[in-house]
Amino acid sequence: MDADVFAWIAEEGSLAARMGSDLVKRSISSSVLTGLNPTTFDASNPITLFIIQLFIIIVFTQGIGWAFSFIRQPKVIAEVIGGIILGPTVMGRIPGFTNAIFPTQSLSYLNLIATIGLILFLFLVGLEVDLGVMKRNGRASALISAAGMILPFGLGAGIAVPIYHNFVDETKTTFGHFLLFVGVAISITAFPVLCRILTSCKLLDTRVGVIVLAAGVGNDVVGWILLALTLALVNASSGVVAVYVLLCAVGWSIILLWPIKKVFRWLARRTGSMDGHGPTPMMMVFTLLIVFASAFVTDIIGVHPIFGGFIAGLIIPHEGGFAIALVERIDDLVSMLFLPIYFVLSGLQTNLGLLNTGKDWGYIILISAVAFSGKFIGCAGMAKLMKYDNRECGAIGMLMSCKGLVELIVLNVGLSAGIIDQRLFSMFVVDALILTFITTPFTLWIYPERVRTRITSERGSRAPKDGEKRAAGLHILTGGSGGREYTSKFLVILQKIEHLSAVMLVAQMLEPPAVKSRKPPAISDRALMKASSGKLSDGDISDESATTSPYHVPSELPALNEEALPTTTAPGAALRIDALKLIELTGRTFSVMQSAEKDQLLLTDDALQLFRQFGRLRGLEIDPHIMIVGLESYASAVAEHAEALGSELVLLPWTIPVVSGSQALIDPSPSVADREGLPSSALSPYESIFGADTQGSPMYSHFLRRVFSECPTDVALFVDRGFGSSSSFAPGAGQHIFLPFFGGPDDRLALRFVAQLCRHANVTATVVRIEKTDGIDSHDSNISETMQAHQAALQSNQLTVGPTSTTHPDNTNRLASDTADNIAWTYFTSPTGSHVSLVESALKRITFWSTKCPTPLSHALELADSLIKDNNQDKTWRPLIVVTGRGRRGAAINHGQELTKLLSDKGQNPNVGAELRKTVGDAATGLMLGGGEASTASYLVLESGAGKAK
């Protein structure tokens, strides 16, 4: 016995030595330089051919996917078609192509990698299955899911009879096994592809999207269970063995879903992986071990390794964003590397050339018609019974008929198990392609944007109607200034953690004033007696009882602000801030999961939670919100959210920190650069955003312009130039505001908002009304070449939303606007005692000036420089904030000629000036790019929603 063992060891060692010698010999002596053909398969070094195959597969499938994206088809369609083209149907007909690129000997390596990817993909599918979605939609989702399984399964069993007798070798496959397989293939819904179709069609937050997602979860779970049952029956040699296989599968599922799941959750909590920061490296290793151990168990008991991966996905907790973070780490690798290999392997087994008779295509039509009608009638009919309208029923039935990748997996499993042959496999692949291809266009046709019911609108709008405002007393807040004098409902867009400092500053200035007086809480005599004696009788404390007297009793605490407003304001006028975080909705798995788990994201998002805690500390009501939409829908999402919440003003932060204290970085003209000893190519912060070398990159500024254009409410853009950087100031420092008032609806809004900010005890303001006199002629024909370049850049359409130039009112509207300007100015500058209490104390902290000059923009620039210099000398003041109206619509003064000359004289890049003008307006652009101290200030640019198209 010992001799045999030693002989076996010696033989194996000799074999290993020979293989190692061959490998070393090849790697050293064989290369393309010695005439080696890299496509020649060599089992000792398969990596060379594998890289060629991988490159062809990825480039081919991704290229077709990119082309199909223009017709809004899911990527799985392109990948399946790409696999078919690379297979014997098309490319395989080229002599020598298959033997050179996909030789039979190499397919085992591709199959191994594809199986690993398929296990991970089914793990991700299990992760996407959130049973909480079904629980939240309860009865409707369960009934629609059941109807979408029972009716098509029955119809599939019906057509299985003629298919079996015409296309199946009855000596190899029993009718019972085949019937069960066809029923599963006809009734299953491609849940992963369904999620991506809902994403691309923007249906995730609609009534249809929510119910389809919930019904798809149940359909998915039941479908995989039925497929596991089918494989157990097929792989078992007898009925008793089949029972043992099923019992083992059920037993392993119970072990995973109960004790292992509890251990996994305990370990995830102990490692801090469920605290919102994602799984630790140890948890990643533990998770992958569970996935492949589960795949190993389900494989050896006679089911299929992919079921092990699916069951492992069901035990992953979704709390704290753990599941989303886990998917984010492995999703791209699976979808971009492993799955394309699997699709190509399926394509290599699909030969449409075998479908060369009318009977074949007749049965393809029959299979497709039965699969579609069963799903559509079952799901749409049940939805109609659940009181959904006709369009919603049609969309539900259409979406639930989607097949795609899941049916392809089912077909491959059936092919490998010998249930179907290559011809029948190809027929069902065509059926899957047809049904998946028609899902998106027919869904958009049945359920267009105009008839969709969003969940947010179903929950009800908080926007009060005019009658409700009057009943609440809010109409008194629109007083003598001609507009709303108190803004109480804000929507803050909080995209990045860097935006927190800017929005916190504005929120702090908006916080309610301190009460005039307050009495501190006192300890009762009964509590003192109980603490001193250890007991307390039920009767009153007698004169002989021990008493304790405090050394000092403050009857009242003085108000922090003696000029504070009364605590009784108009009913319903309490300040409320809604903070909105926008997250991009992509086709990735974790993005779809984010959309279904918004509640978890609200609890784990750092920026929203920090801002909410800040609000609690400052006495502000802050409600966090998350919207997950496509990048192109960000602006419309803000507009819809503002309207649904009844917001009066949308606040957009834009952090552009000062690069340096050097003036050359603010005013990059050659003369200044030479004087500072810096290269003339030094760029301003705005140059880095809008410069010629970065055309197409300032997507955030494009988003800002779209919000200004599409949002029906007032909009404020806070350009943060110092509060989010390293600027420092003394604790309790005051805030001074400068408002150059040129006139127009935006400037009137800015004037009223400055008055509201100055209700805070630490906020003061300087407001200067600047009127234009005759001077610069806007029609002057003596224009330099640089000025012409600035004008041409402004007229270009680079990332422009709305008109490229500022619009000004005609004579009639100008008269009305001038009258409104005079009313507002007279109201705020009139003697004290003639205002409502909401404004009275604020006006005591505002200094009003009025002036006239031929160059209003240059004059405003000089005033801003003077204020900033004086402000910066005292560290008890925060950096100055300049407030302006955007003035892109209905501006009272045309700054175009003066601004063009100013930018030209300063040597500014025409692209920078033009794009900044389109974003913040002419007045703010002149102050930002005019050079000097004003270029370092922060800006609050407002645009009135009055007159916007709803």
Phi, psi at residue 71, to the nearest 5°? -105, 20
Residues 6+ positions from 275 with CB-CB distance below 8 Å: 320
Structure tokens belonging to residue 179: 């019937």
Regarding predicted confidence, which is higher, 780 or 609? 609
Question: What pLDDT digit, counting tens, does each position of 69-121 carry?
Answer: 888 888 888 889 999 999 999 999 999 999 999 999 999 999 999 999 999 99
**Stated pTM of the model:** 0.80
Q: In the structure, what pLDDT confidence band is assigned to residue 477 with cuts at 50, 70 and 90?
A: very low
pLDDT value of position 467 = 40
pLDDT value of position 568 = 40
Residue 473 has pLDDT above 50, yes or no: no
Closest Cα to residue 507, out of 608, 651, 645?
Answer: 651
Question: What pLDDT digit, counting tens, does each position of 567-594 carry?
Answer: 444 434 578 999 999 998 887 778 878 8
Query: Which among 128-137, 538-547, 787-796 has the top mean pLDDT?
Result: 128-137
Residue 684 has pLDDT above 60, yes or no: no
Lowest mean pLDDT among 25-39, 548-562, 707-721, 838-852: 548-562
Question: What pLDDT digit, counting tens, does each position of 640-653 carry?
Answer: 999 999 999 999 99
One-letter amino acid for residue 844 of the chain: K
Which uninterrupted H or E stretch holds 558? strand 557-558
Tell me which long-range contacts 276-279 makes (C-beta under 8 A, separation of at least 24).
Answer: 276/320, 276/321, 276/603, 276/604, 276/606, 277/325, 278/321, 278/322, 278/325, 278/326, 278/328, 278/329, 279/322, 279/325, 279/326, 279/329
Angle, alpha carbons 313-316-321 (nearest 5°): 125
In the block, tokens 């408002």 appear at 739
Asked if residue 338 lies in contact with residue 120, where contact means CB atoms within 8 angstroms, the answer is: yes
pLDDT value of position 559 = 43
Phi, psi at residue 573, to the nearest 5°? -95, 15
Residues 6+ positions from 735 with CB-CB distance below 8 Å: 505, 509, 760, 762, 763, 764, 877, 878, 881
Closest Cα to residue 218, out of 240, 172, 252, 187?
Answer: 187
**How far is it, in rounded angstroms, from Cα 196 to Cα 205?**
13
pLDDT value of position 300 = 94
pLDDT value of position 558 = 45
Asked if residue 94 lies in contact with residue 282, where contact means CB atoms within 8 angstroms, the answer is: no
Q: Show the DSSP H helices in 634-741 as ranges.
A: 634-645, 670-676, 685-690, 699-710
pLDDT value of position 845 = 92
**How far is it, in rounded angstroms, from Cα 78 to Cα 416?**
23
**How far is it, in rounded angstroms, from Cα 364 to Cα 361?**
5
Phi, psi at residue 37, to the nearest 5°? -85, 115
Asked if residue 272 lies in contact with residue 604, where contact means CB atoms within 8 angstroms, the answer is: no
Listing DSSP states for 294-348 in one string gives: HHHHHHHTTS-HHHHHHHHHHTS--GGGHHHHHHHHHHHHIIIIIHHHHHHHHHH
Phi, psi at residue 620, to the nearest 5°? -110, 140
Question: What pLDDT digit, counting tens, does each position of 414-426 carry?
Answer: 998 899 999 999 9
Q: What is the mean pLDDT of the chain?
A: 81
Q: What is the mean pLDDT of residues 685-707?
A: 65
Closest Cα to residue 573, out of 644, 493, 487?
Answer: 487
Residues 6+ positions from 943 with CB-CB distance below 8 Å: 708, 714, 715, 716, 746, 749, 885, 886, 888, 889, 921
Structure tokens belonging to residue 545: 């009882």
Count other C-beta atoms under 10 Å from residue 422's C-beta.
Answer: 13
Residue 551 has pLDDT above 50, yes or no: no
Residue 779 has pLDDT above 50, yes or no: no
Lowest mean pLDDT among 175-179, 272-276, 307-311, 548-552: 548-552
Question: What pLDDT digit, counting tens, does each position of 668-681 carry?
Answer: 344 444 444 444 44
SS3 24: helix
In the block, tokens 């168990």 appear at 297
Beta strand 714-720 with 938-943: parallel, antiparallel or unpaired?
A: antiparallel
Residue 546 has pLDDT above 50, yes or no: no
Q: In the structure, what pLDDT confidence band is assigned to residue 688 with cuts at 50, 70 and 90?
A: low
Q: In the structure, what pLDDT confidence band is assigned to residue 700 with cuts at 50, 70 and 90?
A: confident
Q: What is the mean pLDDT of residues 391-405?
A: 93
Residue 531 has pLDDT above 70, yes or no: no
Which uninterrupted H or E stretch holds 927? helix 922-929
Which uninterrupted H or E stretch holds 887? none
- Going through 854-937 in order, the beta strands assigned E by DSSP cover 881-885
Closest Cα to residue 502, out of 724, 701, 685, 716?
Answer: 724
Residues 6+ positions from 316 with CB-CB distance below 8 Å: 126, 127, 264, 287, 322, 323, 326
Q: In the structure, what pLDDT confidence band is assigned to residue 690 with cuts at 50, 70 and 90?
A: low
CA distances from 591 to 17, 303, 404, 583, 630 (A): 50, 31, 20, 9, 10
In the block, tokens 């009934």 appear at 143
Tell me which long-range contacts 248-255 makes (C-beta under 8 A, separation of at least 24).
Answer: 248/301, 248/302, 249/298, 249/301, 249/303, 249/307, 252/294, 252/297, 252/298, 252/301, 252/308, 252/311, 253/311
Residue 506 has pLDDT above 90, yes or no: yes
Regarding predicted confidence, which is higher, 689 or 307? 307
pLDDT value of position 795 = 65
Q: What is the mean pLDDT of residues 711-737?
A: 81
SS3 136: helix
Question: What pLDDT digit, counting tens, does each position of 812-842 carry?
Answer: 678 888 899 999 999 899 876 566 666 778 8
pLDDT value of position 739 = 97
Q: Show the DSSP H helices in 520-562 as ranges.
A: 525-533
Residue 20 has pLDDT above 60, yes or no: no
Regarding predicted confidence, which is higher, 749 or 796? 749
Lowest mean pLDDT among 247-261, 435-449, 471-485, 528-542: 528-542
Phi, psi at residue 719, to the nearest 5°? -90, 105
Closest Cα to residue 510, out of 721, 877, 758, 835?
Answer: 758
Residue 52 has pLDDT above 60, yes or no: yes
Q: In the structure, what pLDDT confidence band is assigned to residue 622 with cuts at 50, 70 and 90?
A: very high
